[in-house]
Amino acid sequence: MLGLSRLQNTDSNNFFLIAGPCAIEGEQMAFDIAGQVNEICQRLRIPYIFKGSYRKANRSKRDSFTGIGDEKALQILKKIGDSFQVPTTTDIHTEPEAALAAQFVDVLQIPAFLCRQSSLLVAAAQTGKVVNIKKGQFVSPEAMQFAAEKVREEGNPNIMLTERGTTFGYQDLIVDFRGIPVMRSFGVPVVLDCTHSLQQPNQSSGVTGGRPALIETIARAGIATGADGLFIETHPRPSEAKSDGANMLPLSELERILEGLVRIREAI
């Protein structure tokens, strides 16, 4: 898929999984998560991409955790990819970050708030890496064809689009599952972000909330409506996570949920 050679020897009829912690908090934690998720995915023959943000640029409060250092976190991502022979991904926020991150990861993720940032999309495209564009909470599925075109026009056909919910009032998101077939019609794989779709942003505390109990429900609906991949942030102890713990899946629950999702995929 998409020229990612490390996704070979898996079930091409299955959905693929992008999973990992919200942010790279340290090497041992990242390796523990990658190892457990990779083992599950190998058993279930699910193509796996490890995800971890090397820096969190979009924070509600200035004193929120942003990272352990760019170079250190990117080196951890590269080590994980090399050790487990899986593709890796991280988000980027500015044009210089595209070239930097491309030296360490296989997939560059464009954050939802930046999906219309033409110069960022062009810089990501020019690296030749796979570009995963998250649909903005304020953008229609139909409008995402233009984001994809910006990457294609640079000669890079390796594009994914990710649904991550639409703003509903000030402090909630909803998922319009009609968007999955709409975005698939653009000829690119479509991913459902099961964790960020359940965020409850703009809380008075300055810390984003979430509804992680509904991750399984959202994931099931995504597979049933034709999503090519799922995005799930997971952590051994979400309550202790330094970023987005309120909407992450406990790692201990992932295997059971994936087993059910594989059965749904087989049924459809």
φ, ψ of residue 130 to 5 degrees: the values are -65, 135
Which run of H or of E encompasses 256?
Answer: helix 254-267
117 within 8 A of 142, measured Cβ to Cβ: no
Q: What is the mean pLDDT of residues 153-172?
A: 94
pLDDT tens for 14-58 read: 999 999 999 999 999 999 999 999 999 999 999 999 999 999 776
Cβ atoms of residues 200 and 226 within 8 Å: no
**Count of Cβ atoms closer than 10 Å to residue 33 Cβ:** 24
Total domains present in the chain:
1
- Is pLDDT above 60 for 128? yes
Any idea which of 14-23, 104-113, 155-164, 208-217 has the lowest mean pLDDT? 208-217
Mean of pLDDT over the chain: 91
Model-level pTM?
Answer: 0.93
Residue 63 pLDDT: 59
The CATH number of the domain holding residue 46 is: 3.20.20.70
Average of pLDDT values for 198-205?
68
Predicted confidence band at 6 (pLDDT cuts at 50, 70, 90)? confident
pLDDT, residue 242, reads 80
Domain that holds residue 115: 5-267
If DSSP codes are grouped into helix, strand and coil, which group holds residue 160?
Answer: strand
Kindly tell me if the per-residue pLDDT of 59 is higher than 60. Answer: no
